[in-house]
Structures are given as C-alpha cells and as structure tokens.
Structure 1
Amino acid sequence: MCEVNVNTENLKSVIADLESLTNHLKAMLQEPPESKTAQKKNPDSKKTKAEKKNCSLEEVRAILAEKSRAGLTAKVKELIAKYGADKLSDVDPKYYADLTKEAGELANG
C-alpha cells in the first residue's frame, strides 16, 4: 500500500488562504454600486486606496520567502508577529503593503 506523507500545517495554511480569498471575493461581489460611483467621482481616493492595498498574499509570501532564504528567518517571524499573527496567512491584508515595505528593509546584522 502506498502512503502519502502530508504536512498538515501546510494544508491548514492553504485552506486558510483559500478561505481568505473566498471572503475577499464575496466582499467584492457585495460592494454596493454607490461606492464604485464615489470612486469614479473622486479618483484621488481610489489612487490612495490602491497604493495602500496593492500587495497580494502571494506577493508578500514571495518577498518573505526570499528574505528567509537569505538567512533572515528569525527576523521574518518577528515581523509577522509584529502584525499580531503566528503565520503570514493570519496577517490582516490591510497590513500587506506595510509588511512588504518593512521586509524590504530587513538586513543581516
């Protein structure tokens, strides 16, 4: 009989990411038409919002993985904890841009 070795923590992380994506898509579908109209009337507010929320979970994960491979795993974990989470998928998406910026500033030393 062939057994498959499954890392349950990775599966839990994938499930959490999928749930987060599902919730985000549902929220997008439920966005009232008035808010879309308001964004068209005030393009500056749209730009500001887009600048703050321009990072996806996958983009943040890629940046943090790169830092971790560079020997900064402990600092990456500290950074995630700073945003009140034990793992990246638990970080509130509104902090992704800030998290990415701070990750870019990480260095050995």
Structure 2
Amino acid sequence: MSKMSELSLAIRELKRCGETLIAISDSLDGLFSNNEDSPSANRQIADTPELKENPITLEAVRAVLAEKSRVGHTAEIRELLEKHGAGKLSEIDPSKYPVLLAEAEVLGNG
C-alpha cells in the first residue's frame, strides 16, 4: 500500500474517531448537566443516536473507479483490481472495499 493510501485511511479513521468522541462528550454533557434522577437525564441517554460506521458499498466504489477511469487511469484501476486478486470489481471481497477505495482515490493526485 502506498504512503498516500495509508495516509488517506488514517485520516478517515481519525475523523471517525473524532465524531465518536464528540457524540460521547455530548451525551456525557447532557447526562451530568441534568439531575441524575430526573426523567430528562434518562431520556437524554435513550435519545442519543447510535453511531454506526456506514459500510462502503459496491456502488460507491464503482462510482469512484468509473470517474478515475474517465480521467485516464483505467490501467491503474486494472492493476488495483489484480492486486486485490480480481479481474473485475464484483469479484472483490466487500471487506476490501475501504482499502481499494483509498488506493483509488489517490490516483492522479501526485
């Protein structure tokens, strides 16, 4: 994996961690700013949305790869697919989508 791909993945993970920390701090702020025995304190905890990591879909990866192909990176895309053991995108294991997407996003950036 190239340094740019690793950096892209690290930045994405750092952002996700930051969003999680903000949600936790908001929840704790609501919890401790109210009386613990009040119904609103309990409701604050129950109303806090669950943070879910949105899985990367085949369609999202396909859109990025198609755009990169349109701007002249078709050969590099084929190399990425082969690197991940596939001749076409539909043969890629969905668990590899984040890495593949990060590698594709840096194509043409330097």
TM-score by length of 1: 0.50
Q: How many residues align?
A: 60
Q: Distance in 1 between matches of 2:99 and 2:83?
A: 11
Q: Report which of the two has the higher share of helix.
A: 1
Higher RCO structure, 1 or 2 (CA under 8 Å, sep 6+): 2
- 8 Å CA contact 1:72, 1:108 repeated in 2: no
1:34-75, CA deviations, whole angstroms, 9 ceiling, x for partnerless residues? xxxxxxxxxxxx85xx36xx2100000000000000000000
Structure 1: gaps spanning 5 or more residues: 1-45
After TM superposition, the structure 1 = structure 2 runs for residues 1-109 of structure 1, keeping only pairs within 5 Å, are 50=53, 54-107=55-108
- Structure 2: 5+ residue stretches without partners: 1-50
Q: Name the CA distance, whole Å, in 2 between partners of 1:94 and 1:69.
A: 25
Counterpart Cα distance in 2 of 1:92 and 1:61: 13
Q: 1:62 is aligned with what amino acid?
A: A
Percent sequence identity is 53
TM-score in terms of structure 2 length: 0.50
Change (3 A) 1:93 1:74: same
Over alpha carbons, which structure has the higher Rg?
A: 2
Amino acid at match of 1:96: Y
Question: Following TM superposition, where does structure 1 have runs of at least 4 consecutive aligned residues deviating by more than 3 angstroms?
Answer: none
* Pairwise CA distance, 1:108: 7.3
